[in-house]
Amino acid sequence: MEIAAASNTLPSRLMRHLMRREAQVYWRGIPHGTLDLWPQTVHVLTQVLLLWLCYYVNSILVVVVVVVVVV
């Protein structure tokens, strides 16, 4: 009973409302959610590009080392 009463107090109701509202804004992109996603998207794409580049450069270095050792 105490837990139910505590979860229904004004601060907790306000926090739930704000969290719900923030989630709606984030997912719907209203009014700023869509713009907020761009930095995250660019960050993720940059990380993927850097990982791919490191893999590619590493592969080239391995081939060069193998060719130098064999020759």
DSSP 3-63: HHHHTTSHHHHHHHHHHHHHHHHHHHT-SSHHHHHHHHHHHHHHHHHHHHHHHHHHHHHHH
27: pLDDT strictly greater than 60: no
pLDDT at 70: 83
What is the pLDDT at residue 9? 63
Q: Residues of the chain with pLDDT > 70: what percent? A: 51
pTM above 0.85, yes or no: no
Q: Which residue has the higher pLDDT, 55 or 18?
A: 55
User: Is 45 a residue whose pLDDT tops 80?
Assistant: yes
